Amino acid sequence: MTIQNDLKQFYDAEAKKYAQTREKFRSDAKVFLDEIQQSEQKTIKILEFGCGSWRLLKTLKTIKGKKIDYIGIDLSNELLKIAKKQITVKDTHISATFVCDDITNAIKNYKQESFDYIIGIASFQHIPTKKERFYLMKNFYRLLRYDGKILMTNWSFSSRFLSKFQHEMMRAILKYVISRGKKEWNTIMIPWIAQRQTFWRLYHIFTRKELLALHVLSGFSVEKITYLNTKGDETSERRQSKNTLTIAQKKVFVD
């Protein structure tokens, strides 16, 4: 079983529980909400990869004075079944389409300059290799309209993370040493139990330097790479953070 298939099986098995534990707004969703709300455009087209059950979509429903054309892509069909129920006839300002697929494959189906925003909330961290991450970033650049933005959060090397997953980190570092650098020291495998089965979920924990290089090499003008704490507020303290936040723009001329 591949890493992505294992991830799909886990989320399909845990879909109802996963959705129930994520009924509240994400603390970092206000960053995305502010960005979109401040846009001068009246109609905004958004692609979210790794959209899950509905959390960002629930936030987007609060936006006033704009029409939202939303496409959500996720590996888990069970999570998407839940997401589809969140759009009702009352939500006249939102048009939502859901696609069950691996983002690496799904992204091939969209034309150049199709979106105003591409959003990944704790999802890009599951992409397993450098090659795939670069491939996706180049395609994200292709799909964005000029002045469009990519917005991402991913797990950070917080004190809580390092304490909770110290054994997994040690295994990843050991593999890095044994492979003489062929394996990535900051890619870890975390076991999760669902339906009495153990599923292995891959997490690549990005450094800010790594995120900066990846965006710049893909052609983006980086506006911000910072940390967010558990309340979703920006912080300079990595140890007290929960996620990294990246905001980058596709410009005609890169600064």
144, part of any domain = yes
pLDDT in tens, 30-89: 888 889 988 989 999 999 999 987 778 888 888 888 999 999 999 988 889 888 887 776
Position 93 scores a pLDDT of: 86
Position 126 scores a pLDDT of: 94
CA dihedral 80, 19, 114, 125 (to 10 degrees): -110
Position 193 scores a pLDDT of: 79
pTM: 0.92
183, part of any domain = no
pLDDT in tens, 147-179: 999 999 999 999 999 999 999 999 999 999 999
pLDDT in tens, 184-220: 999 999 988 777 788 888 999 999 999 999 999 999 9
Position 111 scores a pLDDT of: 95
173, part of any domain = no
The mean pLDDT of the chain is: 89
Give how many domains the chain has, as a whole number: 1
23, part of any domain = yes
User: Does residue 19 carry a pLDDT above 80?
Assistant: no
Q: Give the pLDDT band (50/70/90) at residue 18.
A: low
Look up the CATH number of the domain holding residue 151: 3.40.50.150
What value does the mean pLDDT take over residues 220-240?
Answer: 94
Residues 215, 152: contact at Cβ < 8 Å?
Answer: no
Strongest mean pLDDT among 13-27, 69-83, 135-149, 181-195: 135-149
184, part of any domain = no
255, part of any domain = no
Which residues have a Cβ under 8 Å from the Cβ of 247 and sit 6 or more positions away? 31, 35, 149, 150, 151, 222, 223, 224, 225
User: Does residue 20 carry a pLDDT above 80?
Assistant: no
DSSP assignments along the chain, one per residue = --HHHHHHHHHHHTHHHHHHTT-SPPTTHHHHHHHHHT-S-SEEEEEEES--SSHHHHHHTT--S-EEEEEEEES-HHHHHHHHTT--TT-TTEEEEEEES-HHHHGGGS-TT-EEEEEEES-GGG---HHHHHHHHHHHHHHEEEEEEEEEEEE---HHHHHHTHHHHHHHHHHHHHTTTSS-TTEEEEEEEETTEEEEEEEE---HHHHHHHHHHTT-EEEEEEEE-TTS-EES-STT-SEEEEEEE--SS--
Q: Which domain holds residue 103?
A: 3-155+207-249
117, part of any domain = yes
